[in-house]
Amino acid sequence: MPTVTSPDGTRIAYERHGDGPPLVCLHGGLTRRYWDPLVPQFADDYTVIRPDRRGRGESEDADAYSIEREVADARAVIEAVDGTPVLLGHSFGGLQAIETARDTAVAGVVAYEPAYLVDDYRAEADLAARMQARLDAGDPHGATKLHLREVLHGDDVDDLDAWLDDWPVWPAPVDHVENTIRMNRALEDHPLPETLDVDAPVLLLTGSEGPAHLRESVRAVHDALPDSRLVEFAGVGHSGPTEAPDRTAEAVGDFADGVTPTPPRT
């Protein structure tokens, strides 16, 4: 698997699929495999680049962590791509895509519920501390469940364990629980600025059934961007790209065709 080296020396692994203008897919709390349902949808028309975030999948990690290092990782991948890409990000990957586009040339950004915390939710956010307490008590599964309840369901799930029994990827997220805690801690310390200085056009996607704080967040991000459009998928939650891959692929394709990403050199 090819890799790039981030400025702090961490090697970031990525996969490449298809042929055409570049589309860089940035995942949230899982690994690059999150995009499995969408790769076949895109590979006929785009060169799909999907990296593993640091400390996940095949990518290396470092002792020090920050959102800025994750942005530097994405920038290193973009620099290895032939052509100016569209960035597609989900959750943390959506925030990573927007923050990267603030100082990196991209053709456009698509972000599904980027993980900015806003308003009262951010002021009271303590998910990282609650997860750490569970982990310190020797309960990594319980710590991970706290995260999944918060970001996938909010308060709208009666029996999380029953839901997890039917979730194909469970319990794989437990492997990344320490990584997820540090991510949440960084997000709690990362305010949404009044203005997100992104020169490229941005398509924001959200679902009608996800947690209220993320639906509020995506609208605050929409207000902070100079050139953005917001589309809501009815009946879909926070995992919209995998819950509704056809709708996601159609929205991303229409947007990418409109912004005309720079194709690779021949």
In angstroms, the CA 188 to CA 204 distance is 21
| Residue 75 binned pLDDT confidence (cut-offs 50, 70, 90) | very high
Per-residue pLDDT, 264: 59
pLDDT at 265 over 60: no
Kindly report the average pLDDT of the chain as a whole number: 94
Strand 3-5 versus strand 86-90 pairing type: unpaired
Q: Tens digit of pLDDT for each residue in 149-176?
A: 999 987 677 789 999 999 999 999 999 9
Among 36-45, 67-76, 138-147, 255-264, name the one with the lowest average pLDDT.
255-264
pLDDT at 8 over 80: yes
For 158-193, letters b (16+ CB in 10 Å) and e give: eeeeeebeeeeebeebeebbebbbebbbbbbebebe
Q: Could you please state the CATH topology (level 3) that the domain comprising 3-116+192-259 is classified under.
A: Rossmann fold (3.40.50)
Per-residue pLDDT, 60: 98
| Residue 35 binned pLDDT confidence (cut-offs 50, 70, 90) | very high
Radius of gyration of the chain (CA): 17
pLDDT at 263 over 80: no
Residue boundaries of the structural domains of the chain: 3-116+192-259, 122-183
pLDDT at 84 over 90: yes
| Residue 50 binned pLDDT confidence (cut-offs 50, 70, 90) | very high
pLDDT > 70 in the chain, percent: 97
Q: Tens digit of pLDDT for each residue in 208-241?
A: 998 999 999 999 999 999 999 999 999 999 999 9
Q: Tens digit of pLDDT for each residue in 88-119?
A: 999 999 999 999 999 999 999 999 999 999 99
Nearest of 72, 121, 126, 61 to residue 96 by alpha carbon:
72
H-only helix segments in 45-200:
67-80, 92-101, 119-124, 127-136, 140-148, 160-165, 177-188
pLDDT at 139 over 70: yes
